[in-house]
Chains A and B, each alone.
Chain A
Amino acid sequence: MTLNDIMFYLFAGSILTFSVMTVTSRRILRSAVYLLFVLVSTAGLYFMLKYNFLAAVQLTVYAGGIIVLIIFSILLTSHVSEKAVVAPIRQQIFSALAVAAGAVLTIMTIFKFAFVPSAATAIDSNVTNVGRALVSTGRDGFALPFEVISVLLLAAMVGAIVLAKKEKTQNPANSPKS
């Protein structure tokens, strides 16, 4: 049992534990914090796979951006001490059964399929290589997805502002329901 194994099982255990706690915790704010732990452990897995840039993006965008956004909206829409409504026990049991069946089937399929790990020399995913690939238009270039994602981010930003903006109404008594 090397240090790498120990780190892997640590990350795997924390991912699974905190995932379960994210979907079962009755307090919404706590469940957001558990989600933060899941995302940080995932970044740890990326570091173990030696994708340092991706792990940094995971930490900044997911753990830094999305979690802050989610906590912000939780504080806007519910009280901190408010407990989430639980689904009826019947629905919980049937969901758990369906999910367990799917998980067992998928894991059996994974173990049945013979993956052949490649012995090719690994390309170094440092920032130079990543940046070159992002702007090159050649065979291994990703210029088109890069441009598409920038347009998508702009559209999402404008859309979010327009959606969340407070409408100016003529009669301030109640907002239009239509």
Chain B
Amino acid sequence: MIDNIPLNSFLVISTLMFFIGIYGFLTRRNLITMLMSIELILNSVNINFVVFNRFLYPNQLHGHFFSLIVIAVAASEAAVAIAIIINIYRNFKSIDVDNLDQMKF
């Protein structure tokens, strides 16, 4: 136990954050807000990795490095996703997913 705060409270927070992110991903109609929901989901997973590392295996640093790498992947993913979004906006003048049905067969 770190500072009398149990492991479960951290896990409950990250679970709620994960599912709030999924709710946003399902209900949002704008590509950028969907990207923000994905960032929420990735962030909650990071909390899980770090908490498991600190509470269950404090003599190693594996979870710490896993979250570092997840942060780097999230950064590169955001950069590429925003490049794609700007390209879509240039071609369709809109980034609402309802308007993007050109590739539908």
Contacts and interface: CB of A to CB of B under 8 A. Distances in A.
A145 B69 contact: yes
A69 B74 CA distance: 12
B2 to A, nearest CB: 7
A93 to B, nearest CB: 10
A24 B89 CA distance: 23
- Interface footprint category on B: 35 or more
A10 interface: no
A50 B102 CA distance: 49
Contacts of B33: 23, 28, 31, 84
Given A65-B75, A85-B30, A117-B7, A164 B16 contact: no
Contacts of B74: 62, 66
Contacts of A130: 61, 64
Contacts of B96: 85
Given A45-B10, A85-B96, A107 B15 contact: yes
Interface residues of A, number: 87
A142 B71 contact: no
A57 interface: yes
Interface in B29-75: 29-30, 32-33, 35-37, 39-40, 43, 46-47, 50-51, 54-61, 64-65, 67-69, 71-75
Contacts of A127: none
A46 B50 contact: yes
Contact of A15 (B13, B64, B89): B13
Nearest to B51: A49
A142 B72 CA distance: 14
A46 B51 CA distance: 9
A157 B79 contact: yes
B88 to A, nearest CB: 9
Q: Which 4 residue pairs across A and B have the least CB separation, nearest first? A: A23-B24, A156-B76, A122-B58, A163-B83
